[in-house]
Chains A and B, each alone.
Chain A
């Protein structure tokens, strides 16, 4: 049926066989290759490399395999860089003569070519004169295995470690004996550990109970999933009582560690969801909580912050790494300016009339959405993630915390602390609190209440903009993005207690963790519903939220 088919399950075996061959030859050539003549057999590589321009993945895969084997046989130093470039998609060929080349950007949308085989510089060309050599998933795993086999004895411990990790779970006897040989001479601790793990997993299949017991000892409490799977398989087939007991104990140790990992993970997920809620809600805690304005356009102020991030990135191309640092103050100012404008033109006429404020701000939210749709685009825009926001922090083999969430959690706490400082330690903060507690008295004391109102609303709007910068790193930036956060934000503020910043923080984090605790057994949809029902019930019991304002100020 298929034009590009590969012939099913047999090929995995072929790949393993190829890998074994590689290792045999690598081992045998390790001794003799030092003085080997590269020129004579390298023509074999040339032919194979030429085949990489074929459109059939099957032919390309065979060619890559052959390059790896030739490389192992002859110690040809060009094999590894070729395979690596192929793996990450950095290998191209020139359209005019199918010559395989490495490329490097040479400015002005032209590219400098280097012949992949001879290393000869071939001058600069445009992008259209090149064609990339594509690889598919099968080729990528085969390439990884080949590179691992070729680099197992590499002088660089980092490469050896990568190769050893790649081999965890392998049960190919040739691979294992190569790993044993390397383990005997390995002097780098992490690499030796990884190699020992490969050997131990393979040794679980040894006929003598003693060797199995030694292997189980190595795997005791090991968090690599391959170790767990191998032990599990052993538990199912083992007949020796002592070995069974040891396996059981080793598995229990793994499970205990996994449970701990799981709890830490859930807590982190919850706190990170909570930090997003807090960020989105904290601006509202000012406008709604302190000023009592029901601002339905709050989500759109977040959206404007996110779009500001986008525009900042457009204005500073090539500086993605730093763009967020510029975007935070920019978003604060832009959203803040929008906030002041909204307050001055609409909201100030509606103080004390919550119903009308609600309707008017809802109208404003629609206007802002349409404004973005007509001026920028109805489509979502791409906000780049700086590289320091990608990837994850590996705490142990079973636990990794993603950097973007980690930074946003920190960011939320910093924003919260700064806001608290502004409200508690600055003149503006003092005036804001005075006006919100007793407007008439504050005015009598000489506070310019209209100005304070505008600034307070601007502050809340600015914080919403800052939240938009953080959200642009997690989710889509589009005209509708604000809608997703308006309900959650009101929920957090009401739950935490209107007018109390600490309440917002605690409420956001609580709801985040509660949501994530429920998600595994209730599913994402039901978990959200349950949280909402819980809040409704809670508000029935305590209408003023977790931390109600006390004293005369609250008793209006």
Chain B
């Protein structure tokens, strides 16, 4: 029997919904004091990181990082004689909401630059907005490449700055011959694994020595997959797992590895999305020896890093909080942006875009990060082994920084493409063979 719904409960749920929205937007406004006050005296900086939903775990930290960097810069006197002002919004791990919030930041708040996004799908969602409204986005997370936008600066690693060197390390230093490519089922792992598969095959690895496996977001039942990996790894050849498993699915994955008795000496797992922040949710005892490839570790032994950690602990008022790779990427992106604005003498998007290319700043591992014409930066590649205190012991580091490559050299559709946002090319997907810019038309997969 279907009854006509009465209004009372509907009003109730509407009230609940309203209350929630109010509480969320109230949060955003705390950090963004009255919008129209003192428009000329401050430069606004947008912070577009999820503060609720699945990704809040990782992204909240990045919001705090940007706020810390802004506070630090304001203590130094701001930029162009003006104070910086953060405009924090919460896209709530909801991809379309990212685009909406980005539009609000650029059109209404008129921010000079935005620091934000974590997942590739959120970046893809805001990309058309930034291109349409000519905004500036600094994207701090390692990603799958195959992209170079005029309006985006990629301060995280491209595949050639993380995935390829990691595989080389396993192949050359540990003598790995069989490969399990395990990932979460979305664009970053799929593209990365496509690149790695092509790379491994070019290096003479046979089809039957590669096992590829995808799991949904938040997967928690790893029993049969880990059993399969164990079987695959016990057939005589040295085996390693290259993991692009993202987010908190890693915790039950590593727990299952430990419980089924797979140690890092038998089958090492190298992860591209597991950093100090993710490990702070696990007992790392059984994981000792498993690996991660990043461009920064909290354990990097430099003075710059010690200062950064001290500043972070003072800002967040918790000496137990860890630092991680995307935080360093935000720091580098922020430094470069400040320099570019000072150099250009304005926050105008086109002027800053032109000024920023070629600028350098010191990274936290004792080297230099340089903004390249393809809007990626130079980064060292570090490989660390997990220790029982949740930190990484660095076991490998490239001597020089590796320049980020927007378009992979190992995929058919993209090996001839480059991104170059300087004259005369000025194009994100320029084909060096046909000498043509593909423009908005997507490169063939």
A contact set with B: CB distance below 8 Å: 1-6, 8-9, 12, 57, 89, 134, 136-138, 140-141, 144, 225, 229, 232-233, 265-266, 269, 272-273, 276, 346, 349-350, 352-353, 355-357, 359-360, 362-364, 366-367, 370, 373, 378-382, 384-385, 390-392, 400, 402-405, 474-476, 478-480, 484, 516, 519-520, 523-525, 528
Asked if B228 is at the interface (CB within 8 A of a chain A CB), the reply is yes
Query: Could you list 11 further interchain pairs (A-B, Cβ under 8 angstroms) beyond the known A404-B259, A476-B251?
Result: A4-B397, A8-B173, A269-B221, A273-B223, A349-B9, A366-B20, A373-B52, A392-B261, A404-B255, A475-B251, A476-B220
B246-274 interface mask toward A, CB cutoff 8 Å, 1 = contact, 0 = none? Answer: 00100110011011110011001000000
Contact yes or no, B282 A400, CB < 8 A:
no
B220 pairs with A484, CB closer than 8 A: yes
| Given A137-B174, A137-B385, A359-B10; A378-B52 close (CB under 8 Å) | yes
Pair A353/B5 contact, Cβ less than 8 Å: yes
Give the nearest-CB partner of B281 in chain A: A380
Q: What would be 23 A-B contacts, judged by CB atoms less than 8 Å apart?
A: A1-B399, A2-B398, A9-B175, A57-B395, A89-B288, A225-B234, A266-B224, A269-B224, A346-B12, A355-B5, A356-B5, A360-B12, A360-B13, A367-B16, A380-B251, A381-B281, A385-B283, A405-B223, A474-B221, A479-B56, A516-B224, A523-B213, A524-B215
Residue of B8, B225, B248, B258 contacting most chain A CB atoms (<10 Å): B248
Beyond A385-B255, A390-B259, whether A525 also contacts B214 by CB under 8 A is: yes
CB–CB A3/B224 < 8 A: no
Contact across chains for B396 and A370 when beta carbons are under 8 A apart: no
Task: Identify the closest chain A residue to B389 (Cβ).
Answer: A132
Contact indicator B9/A353 (Cβ below 8 Å): yes
Does any Cβ of A come within 8 Å of B348's Cβ? no
Instruction: List CB contacts (< 8 Å) of B274-292 with chain A.
Output: 280-283, 286, 288-289
Q: Is the CB of A382 within 8 A of B283?
A: yes
A373 to B228, CA, bound (A): 37
Chain B residues engaging chain A, CB cutoff 8 angstroms: 3, 5-6, 8-10, 12-13, 16-17, 20, 23, 51-54, 56-57, 60, 169, 172-175, 185, 213-216, 218-221, 223-225, 227-228, 234-236, 248, 251-252, 255-256, 258-261, 264-265, 268, 280-283, 286, 288-289, 385, 387-388, 393-399
Per the bound structure, the CA–CA distance linking A140 and B386 in Å amounts to 13
How long is the Cα–Cα vector from A474 to B258 in the complex, in angstroms?
12
- Cα distance A419–B124 in the bound complex, in angstroms: 49
CA distance A213 to B34 in the complex (A): 87
Closest residue of chain A to B252, judged by CB? A475
- Across the two chains, which residue of chain B brings its CB closest to A7? B173
B396–A137 contact, CB under 8 A? no
A302–B62 Cα distance when bound, in Å, is 29
Q: With A140-B265, A402-B256, A404-B259 in contact, is A229–B236 under 8 Å at CB?
A: yes
Indicate if the CB atoms of A524 and B13 lie closer than 8 Å: no
Q: How far is the CB of A121 from chain B (nearest CB, A)?
A: 25
Quick check: A269 and B248 within 8 Å, CB to CB? no
Note all chain A residues with C-beta closer than 8 A to B255: 385, 404, 474
Closest-by-CB residue of B relative to A346 is: B12
CB distance from A349 to the nearest CB of B (A): 7
* Residue of A141, A350, A390 touching B9 (CB-CB under 8 A): A350
Closest chain B residue, CB of each to CB of A523:
B214
- Report the separation of the CA atoms of residues A455 and B396 in the bound assembly, to the nearest whole angstrom: 60
Q: How many angstroms between the C-alpha atoms of A381 and B288 in the bound complex? A: 20
Is the Cβ of A392 less than 8 Å from the Cβ of B260? yes
B224:A141 contact, CB within 8 angstroms: no
**Bound CA span A355–B5, Å:** 8
**A140 vs B393: C-alpha distance when bound (angstroms):** 14
Known: A137-B265, A360-B13. A379 touches B281 (CB 8 A): yes
Instruction: Return the contact of A353 from the options B6, B53, B173 (Cβ within 8 A).
Output: B6
Residues of B near A57 (CB, < 8 A) are: 395
Task: Please pick, from A269, A349, A359, the residue contacting B223 in the complex, using a CB distance under 8 A.
Answer: A269
Question: Which residues of A are found within 8 Å of B289, using beta-carbon distances?
Answer: 136-137, 140
Q: Decide yes or no: A370 and B52 within 8 Å by CB, A2-B397, A269-B223, A359-B13 being known contacts.
A: yes
Report chain B residues within 8 Å CB of A352.
Answer: 3
A153 to B21 CA separation, bound complex (whole angstroms): 71
Closest to B291 in A: A137
Bound complex: CA A348 to CA B89 (Å): 37
Contact call B13/A367, Cβ cutoff below 8 A: no
A276's partner among B173, B214, B221 (CB-CB below 8 A) is B221
Smallest CB-CB separation from A394: which chain B residue? B261
In the assembled complex, which residues on chain B have CB atoms less than 8 Å from the CB atom of A385? 255, 283
Give Cα A364–Cα B15 distance, bound, in whole angstroms. 12
Q: CB distance B223 to A272 under 8 Å?
A: yes
B56 touches A484 (CB 8 A): no
- Closest chain-A Cβ to B165's Cβ sits at a distance in Å of 9
Query: Which residue, A346, A363, A405, has most C-beta atoms of chain B within 10 A?
Result: A363
Neighbouring A residues of B286 by C-beta, 8 Å? 390
The answer on a CB contact under 8 Å between A525 and B185 is: yes
User: B57 near A360 (CB under 8 angstroms)?
Assistant: no
Query: Please, which residues of chain A bring their CB within 8 A of the CB of B56?
Result: 373, 378-379, 479
